[in-house]
């Protein structure tokens, strides 16, 4: 298992993901709350001039954590409250361009591409992974696969019926404007993967 973890870490870091090993969910909650508390304000909300009006939520550090169980949400909320971070579970459309981080669980990790796989059927989950400045995803080590062939059975389950399954590889990037690489143009500026021992 440790070989798979190290191979996944290596491949994910090659595509600019930040990978951290954790031993418990408490560590994951603390990591996420600390990250948001210590990061700079959302860059999209920095006023263009001193007189430019700012939305009320621009004064807060905000983390979105949809689709957590009540117990998980309460544990993360406790960490966030201690750090002065506002935690939201839904209503993300009211905070567009103002979510510092989205906190989610990955369904799988693929060594071949350094990607995480996430079934994102709910709009709130999709928004948390796409409009946040950073995406923090917990990946249980037992869900790391060598490639999509090895993960075939899981992928078939995730994509059965009406499903939105995302393969997320590093932070969002594009080079379609004058072939200049832009990070965060279509999604988060950073992807943090927390490898959970399980």
- pLDDT by residue for the chain (198 residues), tens only, comes to 679 999 999 999 999 999 999 999 999 999 999 999 999 876 655 555 556 555 555 568 999 999 999 999 999 999 999 999 999 999 988 888 789 999 999 999 999 999 999 999 899 999 998 889 999 999 999 999 999 999 999 999 999 887 899 999 987 666 666 666 555 556 688 999 999 998
Looking at the DSSP assignment, which residues form a beta bridge with residue 19? 193
Please state the pTM of the whole predicted model. 0.88
What's the domain range around 112?
Answer: 4-42+58-196
In the structure encoding, which two tokens stand for residue 176, read together?
Answer: 């379609």
For residues 80 and 75, give the distance between their C-alpha atoms in angstroms, rounded to a whole number. 9
pLDDT for 76: 98
The phi and psi torsions of 176 (rounded to 5 degrees) equal: -85, 0
Establish if 116 belongs to a structural domain: yes
Q: How many domains does the chain have?
A: 1
pLDDT for 1: 61
For residues 137 and 1, give the distance between their C-alpha atoms in angstroms, rounded to a whole number. 19
* CATH value at residue 88: 3.40.50.10420
Looking at the DSSP assignment, which residues form a beta bridge with residue 91? none
The SS3 assignment for 161 reads coil
Establish if 77 belongs to a structural domain: yes
Establish if 137 belongs to a structural domain: yes
Single out the residue of 171, 111, 183, 175 nearest to residue 141, CA to CA. 111
Q: What share of the chain is helix, strand, coil (3-state, %, to 5)?
A: 35, 25, 40
């Amino acid at each position: 298992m440790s070989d798979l973890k190290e191979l996944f870490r290596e491949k994910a870091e090659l595509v600019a993901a930040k990978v951290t090993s954790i031993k418990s969910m408490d560590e994951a909650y603390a990591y996420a709350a600390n990250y948001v508390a210590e990061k700079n304000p959302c860059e999209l909300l920095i006023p263009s001039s001193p007189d430019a009006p700012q939305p009320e939520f621009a004064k807060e550090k905000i983390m979105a954590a949809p689709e957590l169980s009540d117990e998980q949400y309460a544990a993360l909320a406790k960490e966030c409250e201690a750090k002065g971070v506002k935690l939201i579970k839904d209503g993300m459309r009211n905070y567009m361009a103002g979510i510092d981080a989205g906190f989610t669980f990955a369904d799988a990790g693929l060594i071949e591409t350094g990607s995480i796989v996430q079934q994102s059927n709910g709009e709130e989950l999709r928004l948390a992974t796409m409009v946040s400045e950073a995406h923090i995803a917990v990946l249980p080590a037992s869900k790391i696969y060598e490639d999509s062939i090895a993960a075939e059975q899981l992928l078939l389950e995730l994509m059965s019926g009406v499903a939105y399954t995302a393969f997320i590889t590093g932070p969002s990037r594009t080079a379609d404007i004058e072939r200049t690489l832009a990070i965060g143009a279509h999604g988060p500026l950073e992807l943090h993967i927390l490898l959970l021992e399980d």
